Structure 1
Amino acid sequence: MTRRIPRWLVAALPVPLWLLLLYILFAPLLRDLGGPLPGGADSILYSWYFKDIQVSLWNGRNPFFTTAMNAPTGLNLMWNTAIVLPAFLMTPVTAALGAGTSVALLMIAAPLAAAAVCYRVLYRMTGNLTAGAVGGTLYGFGPFYAAQQGHVHLTLGAVFLPLILSLGYRMVASDDPSWRQLGWRLGVVVGVTMLISEEIVAIAAIVALLSLVVLALRYRDRDRDRTRVHRARIAKTAGWAAGVAFVICGPFLLYQFLGPLVIRQGFHSSLALDLLSTLRPGQSLYFATAADAAATRRFPADGVENTGYLGPVLILATVLACVVLHRAGQRALVFWLVSTGAIAFGLSLGTSVRVNGTQTYLPTPWFFLSRVPVLETVVPARFSVVTLLVVATVLAFGIAALPRSAGDRTRQRVRWVAAVLVVVGLAACWPAAGSRDRLRVATPQFFTTSAVDAIGRNSVVLALPQSQSPNGAAAVMKWQIDADLRFSIIGGYSYFSRDGQPHYEGDMPSYGALLQQIGVTGVAPTAAQTSTARQSLAAGVGDYVVVTDQVAHPSAVVDALPGIAGCAPQRVSDVYLCKIVR
């Protein structure tokens, strides 16, 4: 008598594939958790937020506002991608192993969690393990997660999108009277996601709202009494969910919009997909050719934001899945999924449609929505995560419907054709090996040893070199992290408010700009320049100047410091340290 394989073991069959894909994505990081992270300057920015929140909590300070960067003005962390909930939960790891390790662990866990959550959701929606596995694998290890691995606020936030989709499906497609329970669950998911990525919630909300409008128009002629009851149930569920979500994240949002350094207007992002982004793989995918790389460079969302690829085979498989579902009598489901996917794809094209890099000036819905306050900060290309989730859901429902839609004689043939299409389509989305855009920062020994104790705790430091570029500013932030945030820094890279307007570069006093210029050019300042710099220093910004050997002309800066900062720089470890005298 043969023993049946335990169901839990069958359900775990995708896990080895996921672990392989995870290794492909993060092999360098897995070998060195404390090493450079993918994501360039943004990865150091996440690490900085984690370290600042940990230090603030450990010292009983407000974790949502800090002057440790952009001193003395500071910044409101709620206006930044600080992913406050994970940062709070990871504080013990941050304190014990370092902020970089905390962020690295979350980066690695995000695609695995996304695949697992999507797998579970689609299995519960379809009742088919294979369907759930296919959808979960595509979502968690498809083009979006392969490209956005360095944007941990997106990859962690998108973990919850399948739950929002599932609860939204129950809200519009079910007559279950327990709207309070459904609203409570949806509110918890949305509230938690808000504390990870407000952008992901905004993306989901925009698509959901437009999808509801389309559904209302499509079924406006149905039984009016039943439709009225159904709409009332949807409204009550959504209202209850909004209330629950506000209880969870409301205090944080109130601090964001009513607290210090509010940003009244955001940046309008031009990062959008090209119409051919669905057919041209980006650099984050294994099968992208040199021709693909050249083509995608003409797209508005070149690089990590070019996340719209599906490929002709996967598109064909999705179309056939829609046919299967339609023939199986699930027309309403097909309409809902196709319309939602089309909305998300249309929004991902930005304000107007581009074809192979050519502007058509054909407006999209985002042309109008991007004018709405706060929404202008959403990056249009990132709506592709919803498109991918919808495609994964269509495929899952199509696979689950195959046995019911095909006759006895053709069933096996149809299933084999479907299997080949799905496997080939998923293979086309195979991620490229290795973590992308890892920014390596050489930290002077001064910041990693007791030598840094020469700087008074909580002092304000101008560390050189410091450029206005994200990478240059992030390097100084990395030195500050390695020094356990002992001091505050002038400048930095984040999302700063300057008279309510957003800026990515921190404030730089004129004496700091002059010293940076001297370090680049090696040209001594004029008497007038020295006098102006000295006056800016008298305003009280800065306690120390640190000149590292990474300055192009350190001796020129050292020679200029007595006249500007009134100090005689001393060699401490491998840097020059100047204690400003006013």
Structure 2
Amino acid sequence: MLGVTGERRRPRHARETVEATTAALPVVRPRRRWVPPLLLALAYLLFSLALQHRALGSPSTVLIGRVTADADMFSWWLNWVPWSVLHGENPLVTDYMHYPYGLNALWNTSVPLLGVLLSPVTLTAGAVVAYNVGVVLGPVASGVALVFALRPYVRGWVARGIGGALYAFAPFHMAHAVAGHLNLTWSLLPPVLLLLAHHLFGGWQPAEHAEPAGRVKRAAPVRRPWLLGAVTGLVLVAQLVLYTQMLAIGVVFLVMTAVVLALRFPRRVRPALPGLARAAAACVGVFAVVGAYPLYLILAGPVRPRGSIRNIDATGADLANLLVPTRMTAIRPAPDGLADELAGHVGEQGGYVGIAMLALVVVAVLVVRSTVLRVVATVGALAWFCSLGTGVTFLGAAAGITLPWTVMRHVPLLSEIEPVRIQVVVGMCVAVVVAMWIDHLPTVAPSGAARIGAVALTGFALLSWIPADAQEVQPAPVPALFAAPGTAFSPDDVLELYPRTTAAWDDGAQGLRWQVASGMAFRTPGGYYIASDPEDDVVIESAWNRYQIGAQWVADGKNQPSDRYTAAAAGDLRAVGVTVVAVVPQDPATDPAVLDWSRRVTGDPGRFDGGVWLFRLGPG
């Protein structure tokens, strides 16, 4: 008989037999694959919060970092992105800083992607909180990214979790967190490129299916090259609007990985070329189309710098940092004070590997029969060599040895890479090698003395990378007037601030914090940025005008400038559209002289409101 569905009904005894058999079978529950990564993300988050515990009690009144300049700058940009969208402004071009010339966001560390991701925090709790949340979440996101990237190479969640933790809280990320470098705590691109390399450079069999694990199978063509290339292009666009220097570093080492593999497997190059060519075409096409406007801003946009923005010879890593840890590492076998001799500041001293970790990497390369592991170790070694920059520096002293990276000074855009920041690739490669080593431990050291020695070496290496409880915070005060400006400013006001907004590490850029707190109630000719103006090819802060020079002059106890100079100072302010001079008192001994000077320049007796003196500039 046919039922209502059109299917022939089974006899009743047959149905009863099937139901009885089904009831006797064990219930197979779906595997909850999301549980391990979720638990790892939670563990990373708790550890990151513990490291930044000094900011938890008052996240809106302190900034994570040893200094405030970069933190204030990042807070400004985190605020600018959602504010500009809500007010019909261009999020990638602004004249609210460096007025009237403005800024090109893609030539600044403007992190627009983070501005979007953190906008709920910015709009509800403020830019200072958003910055602090970003610094806490950056290592967490980077570590989780590596956990997922390790899936083709590492079987166990424990090994992946350890690898992710090593990368998340590597000396590189801890150094840049204390320096307030929000952009570098979000190092997602290297792990994502590691995962893409598995698909792009084909033939690497997933570890959970390989026999033995991690070995390379016969060459296979790139699967779905057009789709894979398109995804790679989108990833690169995302990094383009996160931090452009990391994009350049990532592309360089994606190419380097391809070269290493080609040298290791020369017979596989020709069969792989057609698929790689299609993937490359799709990548370039998607990148060019989706990233067209950001690319325009970089290559031909307004107020971009017209010269090199940094000295490439001064941005290499210190050779000694490989074995000499800074105070950001808990266990420091080096003599006290030795880290103080390293080149650069603590934020650029994130290249520590250490004797124990280096020994573990060497043992893993020699013992584990895995081509993938050795390729990763080779790329890591090349990255470390490149991070030294154009010449060898040892404990702060130049050794006079020229290195191959010097050729980069002649390559447009790539010459702006700071080699020391290539240490992020080194940190990731170390984490990957360690994760693969731990995954292989049961086979390379099954029992006995070998197992004890391997576990002991692994334990020492992991302990050597534990971060110290050395993260810092700095107060982020805001005068009452800027916190609640009311009707103090008109929409067209351009504010000249004293003290002058600069790139100085200690409160040099606090004027940007005050501007954000005011709800972007005014524009300012000052700032901390990378740009150009009609007179200078590269500027990183506002030029000294006669008003600021005169203010510094009288604050130093010298005589009031002449009437002629005073008139010229007023002319300088009018030339850039300044309508209001705001003086935030700094020192009772010098404030009266600065206030008197401001009255002379503006022709306004001024008014004191909410901890700030305001002087409206009279007509010229």
Give the TM-score taking structure 1 as reference length. Answer: 0.90
Provide closer, same or farther for how the CA distance between residues 526 and 290 of structure 1 changes in structure 2, counting only shifts above 3 A.
farther
Q: Distance in 2 between matches of 1:66 and 1:368?
A: 35
1:11-22 map, 5 Å: 14=40, 17-22=43-48
State the shift of 1:312 in Å: 0.8
1:465 Cα deviation (Å)? Answer: 1.5
Q: How many angstroms apart in 2 are the aligned matches of 1:10 and 1:153?
A: 27
**Is 1:457 the equivalent of 2:457?**
no
Asked whether the equivalents of residues 161 and 204 of structure 1 are also in contact (C-alpha less than 8 Å), the reply is yes
- Say whether 1:288 aligns with 2:325: no
1:36 partner amino acid: V
Q: For 2:274 and 2:344, locate their aligned partners in 1 and report how far apart those are by CA, in whole Å.
A: 40
- Residues 109-160 of structure 1, C-alpha deviation per residue, up to 9 Å, x if partnerless? 111111122122213322222221221111011111111122111122x123
2:611 is aligned to: 574
343-352 or 6-15: bigger deviation: 6-15
What is the CA–CA distance in structure 1 between the aligned matches of 2:436 and 2:345, rounded to whole Å?
A: 32
- Structure 1 CA distance, aligned partners of 2:605 and 2:237? 54
1:224-235 equivalence runs, <5 A? 226-235=268-277
CA distance in 1, matches of 2:115, 2:37: 32
Aligned to 1:427: 463
1:320 paired residue among 360, 363, 378: 363
Report the residue type matching 1:431 in the other structure: P
Counterpart AA for 2:353:
L
After superposition, the Cα gap between the structure-2 partners of 1:11 and 1:349, relative to the gap in structure 1 and judged at 3 Å, is same
Q: CA deviation at 1:486?
A: 0.3
Distance 2:606 2:37 in 1: 65
Report if the CA contact (8 A) 2:96-2:523 is conserved: yes
Deviation at 1:502, TM superposition (A): 2.2
Q: Is the 8 A contact 2:64 2:474 kept in 1?
A: yes
| Structure 1 residue 478, shift from structure 2 partner | 1.3
Distance 1:516 1:8, change over 3 A: same
Letter in 1 for 2:49: Y
The 5 A counterparts of 1:135-150 are 135-149=163-177, 150=180
**Aligned sequence identity (%):** 27
SS, match of residue 124 in structure 1: coil
Q: 1:323 to 1:155 in 2, by over 3 A?
A: same
* Residues 69, 491 of structure 1: 8 Å contact kept: yes
1:272 partner amino acid: G
Q: Please point out which of 165, 168, 180 is paired with 2:226.
A: 180
In structure 2, what is the equivalent of residue 302 of structure 1? 345
**Deviating more after overlay: 231-240 vs 28-37:** 231-240
In the other structure, the counterpart of 1:442 is 477
> Which residue does the alignment assign to 1:124?
152
Q: Aligned to 1:433, what secondary structure does the other structure show?
A: coil
**1:557 aligned onto 2:601:** no
| Post-superposition CA distance 1:204-237 (Å, at most 9, x none) | 11122233334434444x3xxx531223332332
Matching of residues 193-204 of structure 1 within 5 Å:
193-204=239-250
CA distance in 2, matches of 1:492, 1:385: 29
DSSP-derived class of the 2:335 partner: helix
Residue 84 (structure 2) aligns with: 56
* Separation of aligned partners in 1, 2:511 and 2:345: 27
Contact 1:322 1:334 in 2 (8 A): yes
* Structure 1 counterpart SS, 2:357: helix
On the 8 A contact 1:121/1:132 being kept in 2, the answer is: no
- Once the two structures are superposed, what CA deviation does each residue of 1:384-435 show, in whole Å capped at 9, x if it has no partner? 11011111111222222333445xxx44644443332222212111112153
Q: Distance in 2 between matches of 1:118 and 1:400?
A: 15
Query: How far 1:14 sits from its partner (Å)?
Result: 4.6
Task: Say which of 29, 39, 46 aligns to 2:55.
Answer: 29
Note if 1:519 corresponds to 2:555.
yes
Aligned to 1:168: 197
Residue 153 of structure 1 is aligned with which of 180, 183, 186? 183
Distance 1:386 1:23 in 2: 24
SS in 1 for 2:64: coil
Larger helix proportion of the pair: 1
Partner of 1:357: 396
Higher mean C-alpha displacement, 90-99 vs 132-141: 90-99
Q: Which moved more, 1:39-48 or 1:250-259?
A: 250-259
Give the Å deviation of 1:15: 5.3
Aligned pair 1:495/2:550, yes or no? no
Return the letter of the residue paired with 1:313.
Answer: A
Give the deviation of 1:19 after TM superposition.
Answer: 4.1
Aligned counterpart, 1:79: 107
* SS of corresponding position for 2:492: coil
Using the alignment, how far apart are the partners of 1:388 and 1:124 within structure 2? 19
What 5-or-longer segments of structure 1 have no aligned partner?
Answer: none
**Structure 1: how far apart are the matches of 2:152 and 2:492?**
53
Cα deviation code 1:52-92 (max 9, x no counterpart): 22221111111211111112222111211111122123334
Q: Quick check: 2:75–2:127 contact (8 Å CA) kept in 1?
A: yes
Contact map agreement 1:26 1:108 (CA 8 A) in 2: yes
8 A Cα contact 1:473 1:492, kept in partner:
no
Structure 2 Cα separation of the partners of residues 110 and 536 of structure 1: 42
Q: Superposed, which structure 2 residues align to 1:309-348 within 5 Å?
A: 309-325=352-368, 328=369, 330=370, 332-348=371-387
Displacement of 1:26 in angstroms is 0.9
Secondary structure of the residue that 2:201 maps to in structure 1? helix
Pick one of 395, 400, 404 that aligns with 2:434. 395
2:282 paired residue number: 240
Question: What is the alpha-carbon root mean square deviation over aligned residues?
Answer: 2.6
Deviations 1:220-255 (A, max 9, x none): 4x3xxx531223332332332232233332222213
Kept after mapping to 2: 8 A contact 1:296/1:302 = no
**Equivalent-residue separation in structure 2 for 1:85 and 1:449 (angstroms):** 29
Deviation (angstroms), 1:203: 0.8
Q: 1:530 aligns with which of 566, 572, 582?
A: 566
Decide which structure has the larger Cα Rg and report it: 2
Assess, with a 3 A threshold, how the Cα gap between structure 1 residues 521 and 374 changes in structure 2: closer, same or farther.
farther
Give the total of aligned pairs. Answer: 566
Report the secondary structure of 1:488's partner residue.
coil
Q: Which residue of structure 2 lines up, in the alignment, with residue 256 of structure 1?
A: 298
Candidates 377, 397, 412, aligned match of 1:373: 412
User: Is the 2:501–2:511 Cα contact (8 Å) retained in structure 1?
Assistant: no
Helix, strand or coil at the partner of 2:236: helix
| CA distance in 2: counterparts of 1:403 and 1:289, whole angstroms | 30
Distance in 2 of aligned mates of 1:249 and 1:366: 28
Specify the code of the residue in structure 1 equivalent to 2:549: A
Aligned CA distance change for structure 1 residues 347 and 82 (closer, same or farther; 3 Å): same
CA distance in 2: counterparts of 1:236 and 1:503, whole angstroms:
42
Once the two structures are superposed, residues 424-476 of structure 1 have per-residue CA deviations (whole angstroms, 9 ceiling, x without a partner) of: 2121111121533x3424322221234x5222223011121226442444111
Q: Relative to structure 1, is the Cα distance of residues 573 and 170 closer, same or farther in structure 2, using a 3 angstrom cutoff? A: closer
How many Å apart are 1:374 and its aligned residue? 1.7
